[in-house]
């Protein structure tokens, strides 16, 4: 376990204490012609080859669960600000499509993307997680205390992915600019810290 991961784990109790007490309001969107909502950012969809996995288990749910929408809520906005050493919590732009809720935080030089594949049964949930694992470059399984007791993996580019209650959380920090990163922290460190905050809130 590296020092940044240890710091993120140490912060989990503090993050957990802040969960559930605030608003889960989310940022501005617009409605597409098919009734789905899309953010103002055209970057809310992942690049291939993950796109095929993304839509493998699409459904007709009318909107995300409260659990999924937390990634754009006040608690996780605060976690993003904490992990990026921002003076003010950013507002995320969100979208909902094919049972996937996405939240993109625009930073000064790049962006941080969070998404949840909002499934509620075991096989589709695991299938999506496994497909995403296979689509990302050189994924590495997260082991020990750092996996927080759930299936999880990461990439050197800044992806951290967890599976909990059949929902796949994907934090993608690969598009952060070097100037967005606090001193001594990597994209992977930031992604893990934010993901740990989400899992802490989901576990409360």
Number of domains in the chain: 1
Q: Which residue has the higher pLDDT, 50 or 82?
A: 82
The boundaries of the domain holding residue 175 are 3-203
Among the listed residues 185, 155, 180, 184, the one whose alpha carbon sits nearest the alpha carbon of residue 170: 155
Report the pLDDT value the prediction gives residue 65, as an integer from 0 to 100: 96
pLDDT higher than threshold 50 for residue 28? no
Q: What is the pTM of this model?
A: 0.78
Q: What is the pLDDT of residue 62?
A: 85
pLDDT at 203: 83
Q: What's the CA dihedral at 124, 28, 188, 155 to 10 degrees?
A: 30
* pLDDT of amino acid 31: 31
Identify the CA nearest to 170 among candidates 204, 135, 144: 135
As a whole number, the mean pLDDT across the chain is 81
Angle at 202 between CA 175 and CA 134, to 5 degrees: 45
pLDDT higher than 60, residue 142: yes
Better-predicted residue by pLDDT, 168 or 203: 168
Mean pLDDT of 184-197: 97
- More reliable by pLDDT, 82 or 17: 82
């Amino acid at each position: 376990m590296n020092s940044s991961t240890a710091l993120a784990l140490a912060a989990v109790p503090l993050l957990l204490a802040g969960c559930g007490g605030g608003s889960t309001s989310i940022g501005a969107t617009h409605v597409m012609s098919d009734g789905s909502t899309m953010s103002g950012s055209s970057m809310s969809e992942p690049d291939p080859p993950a796109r095929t996995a993304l839509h493998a288990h699409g459904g007709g749910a009318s909107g995300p669960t409260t659990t999924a929408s937390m990634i754009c809520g006040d608690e996780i906005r605060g976690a993003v600000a904490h992990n990026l050493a921002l003076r003010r919590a950013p507002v995320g732009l969100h979208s909902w499509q094919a049972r996937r809720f996405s939240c993109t935080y625009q930073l000064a030089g790049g962006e941080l993307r969070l998404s949840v594949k909002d499934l509620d049964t075991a096989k589709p949930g695991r299938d999506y997680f496994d497909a995403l694992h296979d689509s990302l470059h050189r994924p590495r399984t997260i082991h020990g205390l750092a996996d927080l007791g759930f299936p999880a993996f990461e990439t050197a580019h800044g992806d951290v992915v967890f599976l909990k209650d059949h929902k796949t959380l994907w934090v993608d920090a690969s598009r952060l600019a070097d100037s967005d990163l606090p001193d001594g922290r990597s994209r992977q460190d930031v992604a893990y810290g934010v993901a740990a905050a989400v899992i802490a809130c989901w576990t409360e």
